[in-house]
Structure 1
Amino acid sequence: METIMKTFSDFQENIDYEQNTRELIKNTTKEIEENTRKIITFLQIIHQEGASNQILATCEKCKLVLHDIKLRYADLRQQVEPGFYYKYYDHWKLVTQKLCFVITLINYFETGSLKLREDVASTLGLAINEKDGFHLSIEDYLFGLLMLVSELTRFAVNAVTNGDYVKPIQISHFVAEMNAGFRLLSLKNDTLRKRYDTLKYDVKKIEEIVYDLSIRGLKPLEKYNS
């Protein structure tokens, strides 16, 4: 009888530990999600008419929030025991993908180039190799890039509406390169493969914008780098 009671007492300790761990992870992830929503709200300024001179200042404001998010990921690393990353992965998977999107979007407006996975991981304080524990997976990074392309496509449409005919050309070059890169991949993740299908529509939309500018005589003659 005593052995049975001890066994079930140990079970309860494990159950309590698991529940406490999940609660800690849930609360930390909630903070990350709230800060991520704050950044996305800040970045909506890019679609407003006459706000182009505010974009870089907004990016700086976003990076302050990203610093706090990096600290929260450090908390998650402490809360998740080595070897249990994928046990709790679903808690932070989606928000990590969104963060890959906002970080690469901020970088695009600052440099006009793609922020590599290693640099995105560094911004969040994450490793890039699975063996190192808490890391940024390739798939999460790719999801973020697909969101980036969709947002830039939306930005290109609004730029034309606001009378800016240069940025859509720049974005068209960037999106074309992204599309060429994704074409090199053989995607095994069903969800990622389905999400990749939206890239085809984004590419088509960008091409239509550039074509429309061309036939209306509004396409800039100068060569602009993406």
Structure 2
Amino acid sequence: MSHRSRETLKMVTAEIFSEFQKYLDEDQDRREEIRQATRDLEQTAREILITVQAVHQKDGLLNLQPLCGEVNAKFKTVQEKFKALADKIPQGQYYRFHDHWRFVVQRLSFLASFVIYLSAEKLASREEVANSLGVELLRENGFHIDLDDYLMGLLQMASELVRIPFRAVNSVTAGQYDRPLKISQFLAELDAGFRLLNLKNDSLRKRFDGLKYDIKKVEEVVYDLSIRNLVSSTTSKGLETEASQSSPVQAGLRHKRLTITQEVAPPRVTCSINYRCDINCLMVFNMAIRSKIAC
């Protein structure tokens, strides 16, 4: 190869790789802009989470509507920031950069679902969550909420809902003894819905596997309230009827749990030193309940 041919080859190689470097620089700059926009969203998500935590404080359950209104106002900022983020994503390259905002979308999806449940006591649809976040529902329409992110948000919401009845003093203070029953029914229906999905062995499946522990925690509170006669039979029958209309399988299981609870419920005894005895009795009766359900 002549000297001139070698020089020509070097020039061509340098030109090709300079184009590669230009592409990499632009890609790095774009990723940095996306990271900054994502950090802004994470900061807003933390602010919303702090606001939502007020529901677990004293009298939090008595001020749900003002709380939900305050949170919904903060979601206006979320919508603006998602619009700014969407403008930085090249057309058709959503999943190329998806890892940057996946977790913040999951958290915001959880917060939106949680607020919708607190205000209307219903399961938030994917469309409702997308509207709260200010993103599209379908992939072909542009920047959208991925189905896995929406489902992960629902499971995170279930874990947060457990804290309401688990910190039963809040429900007792508000006089809302039926709230643990409603949450228990809601989580049971959510669990039944997820069982219809053929989930792969990924992070979503592992998160779903933890749902049964959340349900168990709520059921322990329900058993406690039932044993202590803090839940009226009218409330239990009303929830049972509502469950039978939506899911016969779940209604049957619920009827079995309520029947067994009534069978093993002990008479209420009043004494000055009975607190520790109540705790021990509750453990024994919970074991009896589980053994009967297993049969």
Q: TM-score, normalised by structure 1?
A: 0.93
For 1:116-165, what per-residue CA distance to the aligned partner results, in whole angstroms no more than 9, with x for missing partners?
Answer: 00111122222222233321111111101111111111111113455141
- The reply on whether 1:49 has 2:58 as its aligned counterpart is yes
Q: Is the alpha carbon distance of 1:56 and 1:159 closer, same or farther for their aligned partners in structure 2, counting shifts above 3 Å? A: farther
TM-superposition CA deviations, 1:181-202 (whole Å, max 9, x none)? 1111111251111100110011
Report the alpha carbon displacement of residue 53 of structure 1 after superposing the two structures with TM. Answer: 2.7
Aligned length: 226
Matching residue of 1:89: 98
Q: Which residue of 1 aligns with 2:280?
A: none
Q: Could you tell me which of 111, 128, 132 is aligned with 1:102?
A: 111
Deviation at 1:204, TM superposition (A): 1.2
1:198 aligns with 2:210: yes
5 Å matches for 1:162-181?
162-163=171-172, 164-181=176-193
The answer as to 2:81 corresponding to 1:69 is: no
Amino acid aligned to 1:45: A
- Distance in 1 (CA, whole Å) between partners of 2:70 and 2:25 is 40
Distance, in Å, in 1 between the alignment partners of 2:170 and 2:81 is 39
CA contact (8 A) 1:45 1:55 kept: no
Q: Residue 78 in 1 paired to residue 90 in 2?
A: no
CA distance in 2, matches of 1:161, 1:84: 46
Q: Which has the higher contact order (CA 8 A, sep 6+)?
A: 1
Q: Which amino acid aligns with 2:192?
A: A
Q: How far apart, in 1, do the equivalents of 2:168 and 2:118 lie?
A: 14
Identity %: 39
* Cα shift readout 1:37-91 (whole Å, capped 9, x = no counterpart): 0000111111112222332212211112211111111112111112211111111
Q: In the aligned structure 2, how far is the partner of 1:177 from the partner of 1:95?
A: 26
Task: Give the unaligned 5+ runs of structure 2.
Answer: 1-9, 244-295
Match of 1:214 among 218, 226, 229: 226
Cα separation, partners in 2 of 1:189 and 1:36, compared to 1, 3 Å: farther
Distance 2:197 2:35 in 1: 33
Aligned structure 1 segments of 4 or more residues deviating by more than 6 angstroms = none
RMSD, aligned α-carbons: 1.7
| 2:163 is the counterpart of 1:154 | yes
| Aligned residue among 135, 143, 150 for 1:126 | 135
- Counterpart amino acid of 1:31? D
Given residue 85 of structure 1, which amino acid in structure 2 is its aligned partner?
Y
Q: Unmatched 5+ residue regions in structure 1?
A: none
Distance 2:182 2:58 in 1: 18
Aligned partner of 2:29 among 5, 13, 20: 20
